Amino acid sequence: MEITLTFGIALLVALVGVIPPGLLNMTAAKISIKDGHSRGLIFSIGVCLIVIFQTLIALVFAKYLSNHPEVVDILQRVAFVLFVLITVYFLLIAKKTDKPDVESNVKSKKSRFFQGLLLSALNVFPIPYQAYIAITFVTFKWIKLDLVGITSYVAGAATGTFVMLYIYVFFFEKINSKKIKSPRGMNVTIGIITCVISIITLINIIK
């Protein structure tokens, strides 16, 4: 049961992290449209391989922090303020969400794989994001950072990332014709996500 819960939490956390249009998912979508679905998936596999290593680093960092509660206490307060500011920005201030315009003349599947590795390696956001989320759920005692727990979490994070990239690869045209074309709608979605994280953080601080 613990393995399933840990896997499910990591999968959902990764899905949330990749939902907003960004460099990786938009690139996967554009590759799919330009070169076909198979190359989009090859790119996604490259991305997920790096995500595995990034999640491992994040969990090692989270495990260290779990043994130093005084540091976690400070980081939670800082994170709470940051998430509140981000929520306010996306719900009240942001007017539009710019979509990254990524053009590439790379054609081969091998090149798309390495392109996924490179762009994912340049995107270091998953490390602090996963570390903070992992610490939060460890505090709630929903997950454990032992060997089995870490393995399950890493597998869930990689799966969640791939699932969302898969959705962008195969269903981008339908998504693009609806919600993703509305900057305001996407800003609200991101704002709600950060608002939920802010509430969880506040509850954790109070406890």
Cα 181 to Cα 99: distance, rounded to the nearest angstrom: 10
Question: Residue 196 domain-assigned?
Answer: no
Question: Residue 202 domain-assigned?
Answer: no
How many contiguous H segments (helices) and E segments (strands) does the chain have?
8, 0
Question: Residue 192 domain-assigned?
Answer: no
Q: Which two tokens stand for residue 53?
A: 């290593």
Task: Give the pLDDT of residue 108.
Answer: 61
Task: Give the pLDDT of residue 97.
Answer: 45
- pLDDT-based confidence at residue 7 (cuts at 50, 70, 90): very high
Which element (helix H / strand E) includes 70? helix 69-88
Contacts of 19 (CB under 8 A, 6+ apart): 164, 189, 193
Question: Residue 206 domain-assigned?
Answer: no
Q: Which two tokens stand for residue 80?
A: 């709470």
Question: Residue 37 domain-assigned?
Answer: yes
pLDDT digit string (tens) for 107-161?
566 788 899 899 899 888 888 888 888 887 887 788 888 889 899 999 999 999 9
Question: Residue 35 domain-assigned?
Answer: yes
Cα 102 to Cα 59: distance, rounded to the nearest angstrom: 31
Split into its structural domains, the chain has a count of: 1
Q: What is the mean pLDDT of the chain?
A: 79
Domain that holds residue 153: 2-67+107-180
Question: Residue 112 domain-assigned?
Answer: yes
pLDDT digit string (tens) for 12-28?
988 887 877 677 888 88
Cα 137 to Cα 197: distance, rounded to the nearest angstrom: 12
Sign (positive or negative) of CA dihedral 40, 107, 52, 193:
negative
Task: Give the pLDDT of residue 130.
Answer: 86
